[in-house]
Amino acid sequence: MSRTLILWLPPVAALADETAVRPAWLRVDDGVIVDSGQDDGWVDAWERPQDDAADGRLIALAPAADVPLRWHHYPDAAPAQAAAAARLDALKDSLGEASALHVVAGQPAEAGQAVPVAVTTHAAMTAWTDWLAAQGLSPDTILPAAAAVPPPEAETLWAAEVGDETIVRTADRAFLSDPELDPLIAGERTIAPLDAAQMREALLLSLAAPPLDLLSGAWKPKRNWAVDPALLRLAKRLLIALLVVSLMVPVVHAIRLMSDSSRADEVTVETAKKAGIAAPNAEAAEAEIDRRLAAAGGGPLAFSVPASALYDAMRDTPGVTLKSLAHRTDGTLTTTLAAPRVDDINAVLLALQAHGYRITAQPMAGADGQQMANVTIRAVP
């Protein structure tokens, strides 16, 4: 449900006696006027909706006595350019210091449309916002009451009752009626009263799409960010849960790693027992197995292990040839490699290093012009 409270702001001159201020008001629900008055009844009529499905707005109407309106035409200007030009022209035509004036121009929807411009003072805006704050109100929009009066027919002026005011509307102006000045302004044109029903309809249309808002420029409300306590509590809980999960992941990983390591150690000890080795733990079992393999000339110290790795590396580099090969009891393989280029020998050495072997190499030049290197390969990486 859409709910709107329309509250007429008192003229600045009337605010001197706040006890005498009884603003007119309307309450509109879903585009239908459901309540109205000129008393303090708006206090009970206005309650911002608490549910998310409802939409509540407070629109204040500034009196024409303090905010006259004028429409400017710029047929060839874009909407934004027309609004800027109208504001400058309004400043030129206004009396008083520019710094004391609050000039607001609406922006037309299409090029060529008239631009409404409202002129008031910063002092008036201060008086109204202070009065609204004293009532505990923060309006969504402050609309000049004169902006709600529709344009008249040709050769006619409207005299419309809006709140406590009678507003005269010409083709390009809207201002507070003055019995002495109205005939002079009208000239030969007729000043016709605007039907109350037609005025209410025009007012509701202007609320749906306000042509301009006095709460702009220096008076545009600053957005206050409010934190929902429920969302804050939820965010705290999610943060705590994230910290717990972040701590539990490495803990669980460490537990699983320790469990897997323990099972692997048990398998190692059991395998050693089958080979006739009695060891208290996996480290002792592995040491005894390595000792026995070394004594038998097998295991990682055997000739076949580093030699196989050397032949695999040479198979990927056909230009390298083997000049000599020897194996020591400590598992070290010594060899002399020859190739047309040093890069070919380096490719073999890099391949061995990639398999975890420790390499030393001494380059030298061969008698036949080939590149040679004396290489030692540690059988145990």
User: What is the rounded distance in angstroms from the CA atom of residue 104 to the CA atom of residue 86?
Assistant: 9
Which of 51-65, 74-88, 177-191 has the weakest average pLDDT? 51-65
Closest CA to 156 of 171, 146, 144: 171
The reply to whether CATH 3.30.420.380 applies to domain 2-219 is yes
pLDDT at 308: 79
Kindly state the percentage of the chain with pLDDT values over 90.
Answer: 11
pLDDT at 316: 81
Indicate the pLDDT class of residue 20, thresholds 50, 70 and 90: low
Paired with 143 in beta bridges are 61
User: What is the rounded distance in angstroms from the CA atom of residue 144 to the CA atom of residue 69?
Assistant: 8
- Rg of the chain (C-alpha set): 47
Residue type for 151, please?
A: P
What is the tens place of the pLDDT at every residue in 165-206?
899 999 888 999 988 888 888 888 888 898 888 888 888 888
What is the tens place of the pLDDT at every residue in 267-277?
877 887 877 78
pLDDT at 117: 93
**DSSP helix/strand/coil, 152:** coil
213: how many CB neighbours lie within 10 A of its CB?
20
Reported pTM = 0.56
* Range with the largest mean pLDDT of 70-79, 302-311, 321-330: 70-79
pLDDT at 223: 62
Per-residue burial over 45-54, b = 16 or more CB atoms within 10 Å of its CB, e = otherwise = bbeeeeeeee
Residue, of 320 and 305, whose pLDDT is higher: 320
What is the tens place of the pLDDT at every residue in 32-50?
888 777 766 666 666 654 4
289 pLDDT higher than 80? no
Q: Are 62 and 214 in contact (CB under 8 A)?
A: yes
pLDDT at 53: 44
Q: What are phi and psi of 239, to 5 degrees?
A: -65, -40
Angle subtended at Cα 373 by Cα 368 and Cα 374, rounded to the nearest 5 degrees: 125
pLDDT at 122: 92
pLDDT at 252: 87
Q: Which helix (H) or strand (E) holds 27?
A: strand 25-29
In the CATH scheme, what architecture does the domain 299-378 have?
2-Layer Sandwich (3.30)
Mean of pLDDT over the chain: 83
257: how many CB neighbours lie within 10 A of its CB?
10
pLDDT at 379: 61
Task: Estimate the crossing angle of helix 282-296 against helix 229-274, to 10 degrees.
Answer: 40
Q: Which helix (H) or strand (E) holds 122?
A: helix 122-134
Q: What are phi and psi of 219, to 5 degrees?
A: -100, 10
Q: Is 112 left (phi over 0), alpha (psi -120 to 50) or beta?
A: left
Q: What are phi and psi of 347, to 5 degrees?
A: -60, -40
Residue, of 271 and 106, whose pLDDT is higher: 106
Q: Are 128 and 142 in contact (CB under 8 A)?
A: yes
pLDDT at 381: 47
User: What is the rounded distance in angstroms from the CA atom of residue 293 to the CA atom of residue 303?
Assistant: 12
Mean pLDDT of 148-163: 88
Paired with 192 in beta bridges are 158
Residue type for 340, please?
A: P
Per-residue burial over 310-349, b = 16 or more CB atoms within 10 Å of its CB, e = otherwise = beebbeebeebeeeeeebeeebbbebbbbbeeeebbbbbb
User: What is the rounded distance in angstroms from the CA atom of residue 212 to the CA atom of residue 109?
Assistant: 12
Residue, of 210 and 279, whose pLDDT is higher: 210
